[in-house]
């Protein structure tokens, strides 16, 4: 009895603070969007492109600081432009590791240059790189909610041809799917999701919400809707649990989410092995009967 009460007070204590409520709301919105958009990023094998977009966003965010804009708008503008350019330049380039690697380090370099010229902004560099969900305020939550709605709406609009084009590009082309339009629209959607995700876990750790949960979900289930649902739920669970863990340990939130994301993925990887061992044990058990 006392342990249950202690457990509930551990949870309720957190919500006495407005910044914790805000953190849960913002992380909740972003985690669901990240889990769902990330599912398609993993399916298309474009996770590295997503990573590059977030780095390009870093240059945008610091550049926005230079000219007195909120970092989110710089992040959004740069990732959107980069996503559309990558998509328009053709499927081949957006999947090419070396080109992406060079562009992303160039973008990080520019981010550093912008920081260099706007020194008072430097304190925000850590927040940009690693996220600062505990500093999210009400207006930011409203902005994130609107962006999330736009992202999911756009994804819903292109989802059917996107899946077809991802799984079987040659056949999709023959059946009349405009491949380039679909892949460009998708990278623009990824850009939106990355910008939102960076507000929670920072540009360097967007993988924790956009790749970890969907990759784990795809190991566990092979159905489309069950996979999407599980991916969103995993991202949500990892984000909220991460914040809770951070609150009680005083470790950085992004670190906690990163650890949970990795644990989730590795647990999902070892699932088939566990299942095999269990069925083997069952067989041995029945033999002993």
Partner 1 sequence: MNIVELERATLRMGGRTVLSEVSFAIRAGEFIGVLGPNGAGKTTLMRAILGLLPPSAGTLRVFDRAPQRGDRRIGYLPQVRTMLPDLRVRGLDFIGSSLNGERWGLPSLAASDRRMIEATLDAVGARDLANRPLSDMSGGERQRLLIAQSLIGSPKLLLLDEPLISLDARHQEVAIDVVRKVCREHKITVLFSAHELNQLLGTLDRVLYLGNGQAVLGTVEQVIRAPVLSRLYGTDIQVVRADGHIFVMSRGRDVEVSDHQHDHDHDHGGHEHHH
Residues near partner 1 (CB under 8 A): 43, 45, 156-161, 163-165, 167-177, 218-219, 222-224, 227
Give the burial class of 225: count Cβ atoms within 10 A of its Cβ; 0-12 exposed, 13-18 middle, 19 or more buried: exposed
Q: How far is the CB of 269 from partner 1 (least distance, A)?
A: 12
Are 228 and 40 within 8 A, CB to CB? no
Residue 266 CA: distances (Å) to CA of 215, 220, 246, 269, 270:
10, 11, 21, 5, 6
| Cα separation, 174 vs 104, whole angstroms | 34
Of 165 and 193, which CB lies nearer to partner 1 in the complex structure? 165
Which tokens in the block code for residue 104? 């992303």
Backbone dihedral angles phi then psi of residue 96, each to the nearest 5 degrees: -95, 115
Q: Which is nearer to partner 1, 205 or 268 (CB)?
A: 268
Minimum Å distance from CB 41 to partner 1?
Answer: 13
- Please say which residue, 92 or 287, places its beta carbon nearer to partner 1: 92
Pair 71, 65: CB distance under 8 Å = yes
- Give the residue with the Cβ less far from partner 1, 139 or 176: 176
DSSP state of 13: H
Helix/strand number for the chain, H first, E second: 14, 0
Distance (Å, whole) CA 208 – CA 270: 19
Measured from the CB atom, the residue of 10 and 267 that comes closer to partner 1 is 267
Q: Which residues fall within 8 angstroms of residue 221, CB to CB, at 6 or more apart?
A: 227, 230
CB of 173 to partner 1, least distance (A): 6
Smallest separation, CB 172 to partner 1 (Å): 6
| CB closer to partner 1, 42 vs 141 | 42
Q: Please check whether residue 134 is in contact with residue 23, taking contact to mean a CB–CB distance below 8 angstroms.
A: yes
Residues 203, 54: contact at Cβ < 8 Å?
Answer: yes
Question: In residues, how long is the chain?
Answer: 289
Q: Report, in Å, the least distance between residue 226 CB and partner 1.
A: 10
CB of 271 to partner 1, least distance (A): 12
In the complex, least distance from residue 190 CB atom to partner 1, rounded to whole angstroms: 17
Residue 122 or 224: which CB sits closer to partner 1? 224
Which residue, 102 or 150, has its beta carbon nearer to partner 1? Answer: 150
Question: To 10 degrees, the CA torsion angle through 259, 128, 228, 12?
Answer: 60
**Shortest CB 145 distance to partner 1, Å:** 21
């Amino acid at each position: 009895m006392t342990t249950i009460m202690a457990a509930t007070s551990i949870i309720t204590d957190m919500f006495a603070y407005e910044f914790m409520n805000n953190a849960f709301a913002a992380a909740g919105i972003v985690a669901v969007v990240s889990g769902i958009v990330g599912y398609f990023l993993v399916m298309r094998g474009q996770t590295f492109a997503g990573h590059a977009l977030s780095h390009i966003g870093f240059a945008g965010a610091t550049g926005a600081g230079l000219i007195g804009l909120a970092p989110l708008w710089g992040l959004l503008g740069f990732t959107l432009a980069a996503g559309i350019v990558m998509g328009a330049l053709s499927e081949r380039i957006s999947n090419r590791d070396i080109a992406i690697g060079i562009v992303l380090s160039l973008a990080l370099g520019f981010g550093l240059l912008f920081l260099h010229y706007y020194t008072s902004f430097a304190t925000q560099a850590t927040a940009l790189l690693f996220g600062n969900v505990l500093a999210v305020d009400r207006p930011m939550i409203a902005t994130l909610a609107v962006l999330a709605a736009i992202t999911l709406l756009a994804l819903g609009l292109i989802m059917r041809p996107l899946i077809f084009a991802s799984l079987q590009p040659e056949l999709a082309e023959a059946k009349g799917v405009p491949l380039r339009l679909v892949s460009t629209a998708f990278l623009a959607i990824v850009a939106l999701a990355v910008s939102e995700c960076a507000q929670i876990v920072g540009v360097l750790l967007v993988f924790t919400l956009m790749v970890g949960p969907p990759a784990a979900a795809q190991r566990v289930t092979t159905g489309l809707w069950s996979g999407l649902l599980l991916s969103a739920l995993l991202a949500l669970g990892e984000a909220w649990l991460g914040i809770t863990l951070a609150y009680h340990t005083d470790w950085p939130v992004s670190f906690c989410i990163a650890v949970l994301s990795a644990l989730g993925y590795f647990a999902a990887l070892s699932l088939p092995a566990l299942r095999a061992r269990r069925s083997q044990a069952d067989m041995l058990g029945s033999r002993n009967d």
